[in-house]
A and B are shown apart, each in its own frame.
Chain A
Amino acid sequence: MTIRAVEFRAVSKRYGAVTALETISLAIDRGTLVTLLGPSGCGKTTMLRLIAGLEQASTGQIMVEGKDVTLLSATERDVSMVFQSYALFPHMTVLENVCYGLRASGIRKSRAVELAQAKLSLVGLSGYGARLPSELSGGQQQRVAVARAIVLEPKVLLFDEPLSNLDAKLRRHVREEIHELQRSLSLTVIYVTHDQQEALAISDRIIVMSMARVAQDGTPRGLYEQPNSHFVADFIGDANIVPVVIEGRQNELASVRLGPLQLTLPHHGAVAGPAELSIRPQAVLLSRGTSGLSGRVERAAYLGSHMEYWITIAGLDKELFVIAQDVMAPLGVGDEVSLTFGRTGVALVPREHLELG
């Protein structure tokens, strides 16, 4: 049995009349990188702060490594956090910042400096110890914040949107550094972001949140290929959401009618009748034949590595957004095309999933 680093048992959080987190139960395994993903105001940061002990749960129990920490303060929990603003103490040097937690836990100074130096060189900042945070670049500050957090060897390491203050190029680099660090030290990392690409790139598991609840919980691949709701399909990657009719169900599969096309897909609990289909832009295959749905190219854009098309289909009041890899022989505006779907990237989405909860 894997050991659970963090466990939520029916935890909720309310601020007066506002519910920041509906009753949530979940467990996070040791040594994994789990991302809390969602739009702003969905409760993901609240969840992180509950784990850190910066907020107290209104109801329920929070366990860290099997120990009930619900009533413990942030100080008493064996959990470290890297803040969005990094929160480096501006009046202390880099070394003093990294030593801070060690000194607070009563480790004598020479030992603390030794440990801090080791972690600083781990993040590639040996020799920067005497500088003030204001004398470092954004990326360096971020690494100091990470060193300061991991030097305490916490049971759980929390990241609150750590890349949002970095520019786009640096983001990918730092993201990989964090991932590398997590793997090499076998850390349990919980990572909050609203950037779905970031989440897909580094997570072992993604918990998508919406309106104070968990919308879906799974691996990056599972979420992308089998979204269980309109919200998740739309939030992770691009998706065309198309109304369809389920004509029948057999075992795990449902037969779905979309215009003249008959598709067989896992039903995910959707019942016969009207439903929605999530179609990834890459899952649409365009050809000049007549075997599939017939459509017409409305707009086309050349993006170097691929083409983007907007296609109208008779009987559908919405344009389909399609990405095609063939940039050598692109389609032109006004071309009549035939659409079929690939094996992955098309999924049935039960209707009104979120509202039913």
Chain B
Amino acid sequence: MQRPPRFPLIWVAIGAAALLAVPWYGLDDRLSAPALFAGVPWLWPLALPLLLSLCAVFGRPRPHLLIAASAGGLLWLVLQGLLIIHRGWTYAWLIELTGGSGPTQPAMGWGAAVYALACVLLLAYGLACRGFCKGDVFVAATLLVVVGLIALFVFYPVLCILASAVRDNEGGFAPEQFLAKLLSPSIWSLACLTGAHGCGVAWNTVAVAALVGVLTTLLGLAFALVALRTHMPMKPLLRALSILPIITPPFVIGLALILLFGRAGMITMWIGNLFDIPRSRWIYGVPGITIAQVLAFTPIAMLVLLGVLQGVAPSLEEASQTLRASRWYTFRSVTWPLIRPGLANSFLIGFIESMADFANPLVIGGNFNVLSTDIFFAVVGASHDQGRAAVLAIVLLAFTLTAFVAQRFWLGRRSYATVGGKGHAGIPAPLPGGLRIACYGVIVPWLLLTIAVYGMILIGGFVVSVGRDNTPTLEYFWTAFSIEKGVGGWFLSGSAWNSFIVTIEIALIAMPFTAALGILTAWLLDRQQFPGRRTFEFLAMMSFAIPGTVIGVAYILAFNVPPVSLTGTGTIIAISFAFRNMPVGIRAGLANLSQIDRSLDEASLTLGARSFRTLRRVLLPMLRPAVVTALVYSFVRAVTAVSAVIFLVTGRYNLATVYIVGRADVGEYGIAIVYSAMLVLFMMLVLLLIQLFVGERRIGRRVDVPPIDAPATALAPA
């Protein structure tokens, strides 16, 4: 008789331990007994899959039985969780069927989590035995775990929104209410066209998003053109501009705009005094939102378009000029058509970002609501209409997902990759004169505005009242960040310390998980073949297009009640960070992996190393830049995030961004802006330190890319 393999035995044992020794319900408080001793008969069948798995590995291996048993275990776990919750049966038909409110159970805890993991890994083992993922257990297990996590923390919450939308606030099934809410004039009204009333919130959002998309694209293009096609020394400026939006929390720009152009803003006062113009509230609403978002998102458009413009081979433009075309004709007939898909891409990115932006409309929107703020007010406002929040979330999600799908499928096929493997020698054509002047004319005022905004962020917190009384003061700084000596020694007495420390803590906890999730997913996508790979890629990247507000609402709806109850914990904030920022890790990983020749993995495999060893010994050492990028970005993005977590914070787990928005909301601009400045400076410091650290590593003897220029034989078998 063959010796049974170790892997399934270990996981059967762990699964058994989860049933026998780990508290089944509860995560940190009110822990229950283990599943089999909790006196809950519907948990007993969970032991059966483990027994069957044992039969499947002893003696003749029977992967079919193993697959069926572990899948059955998972299914039963999910079913009992969904059907029986804290108030009895979940569904009305079950109550009718049994004639009672049914048994109850609290939310699942550690025991359930470990049991689910054991089942998933046994399933992966069974599938691998049947040849799934080329029979590689580690790949199959990683894939199933990642898919399972995405399903639980991205798809299940989004599905909960859909489910919640078709119910009334008491939980009954109410499709008519759903239709009424979905088609409500408050969402779709076009009254503003006739001038009678304001338009529906959906049209408001689309209009602002389209405007922002167009403006960021034009500004980004002007910037890219000046950077690449003129002799203006732009390198340091470009670097600064590409870093700023990463380290600036989104609403800070809106805040600075209020301090500059608000009713009592610095520039408003100055111009008012100079020309005797009455002060107005023009900045609140569409103008403010648009300016703030354009300032925030233009750097992204600029980066996209720099790449696009660099992709236009100079030899094409030179060819055009040797064919007697003028500069202007060359630009119009060669350059422009080649960059058009890139422009559309940049527009869609600006469109999605604007739609997803929550904090700027909240801070500077005044009475002008967009979908993301409306969702927020539907949840936290006086009306407290979860159904309406869900419907609005669905509308917002539909818009962003449409743009995302358009970006991936429509543009994906249309982009002209003009940079091949061969070097294109040549000098890019200079800009036609008129265009150059137009570009300068757009860029210079914009730069001035950016400088004014960031200047305001840095100094605005250190004067008594911006605009009215510009006497320097440290009052706000000390209120927020004072350190005092009390009875028990030094302590942090400032009002901001608590949220600041919690933010850093949670961001640090989420950081390794985000990076690991992103890099592993990138590795699965780039290096492994399995059925449904393209779907997996699409779904993994899609979480990028789900607006934070939607995720926030979804998490509240999904994780407030059993079977999985996490709201009010720091864990759920960390989880939301991990899944919101995972795509950054995926992108960094994919970019890095594409530089590492596949023959290295294959060499490792043919030398008898398994995929785990290959990943750890061969790929990870070379993936270090991607790992660092993923870690840094996940940290920075977590610290600056606001839209999703504003729904998830509690008194105990308050975050810096949410605290600042709260201060700004009640008009305490001094503390808000001083705190923002500290956050921006802190991030800059973090980035600089990491750059120093990583920069030194790069000089070492290690080479990032394999020294041999290997033809891509592995990609296309000869």
Contacts and interface: CB of A to CB of B under 8 A. Distances in A.
Given A49-B717, A74-B606, A75-B610, A84 B703 contact: no
A21 B604 CA distance: 25
B313 to A, nearest CB: 27
Nearest to B713: A84
A148 B711 contact: no
Contacts of A194: 718
A160 B609 CA distance: 20
Given A45-B713, A90-B622, A91-B703, A73 B708 contact: no
9 contacts: A43-B717, A43-B718, A73-B605, A75-B136, A83-B602, A84-B711, A85-B711, A88-B708, A100-B607
B695 interface: no
Interface stretch (B236-244, B378-386, B613-621): B613-621
Interface in A75-110: 75, 77, 79-81, 83-91, 100-101, 104-105
A52 interface: yes
Interface stretch (A53-61, A263-271, A280-288, A291-299): A53-61
Contacts of B604: 89, 100, 104
B602 A80 contact: no
A40 B711 CA distance: 13
B608 A141 contact: no
Nearest to A15: B717
Interface of B: 131, 134-136, 597, 599-600, 602-611, 613, 617-618, 621-622, 701-703, 705-708, 710-711, 713-714, 717-718
B703 A52 contact: no
Interface in A108-166: 132-134, 138, 141, 145, 148-149, 152, 158, 160-161, 165
Contact of B708 (A43, A86, A101): A86
B608 A105 contact: yes
B602 A81 contact: yes
A15 to B, nearest CB: 8
A230 interface: no
A85 B135 CA distance: 26
A56 B718 contact: no
Contact of B618 (A20, A72, A75, A89): A89
A88 B702 CA distance: 13
A55 B135 CA distance: 12
B605 A91 contact: no
Nearest to B716: A41
Contacts of B608: 75, 101, 104-105, 152
Contacts of A55: 717
A210 interface: no
Contacts of B618: 89
A79 B606 CA distance: 7
Contacts of B611: 75
Contacts of B622: 90-91
Nearest to B703: A90
Interface in A17-43: 20, 40-43
A84 B135 contact: no
B131 A80 contact: no
A353 B717 CA distance: 26
Contacts of A158: 606
A56 B607 contact: no
Given A40-B718, A87-B599, A87-B600, A75 B605 contact: yes
Q: How large is the interface on A (under 10, 10 to 19, 20 to 34, 35 or more residues)?
A: 35 or more
B667 to A, nearest CB: 56
A41 B713 CA distance: 11
B603 A90 contact: no
A72 B717 CA distance: 20
A104 B713 CA distance: 25
A205 interface: no
Contacts of A72: 135
B609 A85 contact: no
Contacts of A160: 713
**Which 7 A-B pairs have CB atoms at the shortest separation, nearest pair first?**
A85-B710, A101-B607, A87-B603, A104-B609, A87-B599, A45-B718, A74-B605
Contact of B717 (A45, A71, A87, A148): A45
Interface string A311-348: 00000000000000000000000000000000000000
A145 B711 CA distance: 17
A275 to B, nearest CB: 32
A229 interface: no
Contacts of A226: none
A83 B607 contact: no
Contacts of A20: 717
Residue among A44, A73, A80, A138 with most chain B CB within 10 A:
A73
Contacts of B621: 91
Contacts of B617: 89, 100
Nearest to A85: B710
A46 interface: yes
B709 to A, nearest CB: 8
B131 A53 contact: no
A49 B316 CA distance: 40
Given A40-B718, A160-B713, A71 B609 contact: no
Contacts of B597: 85, 87
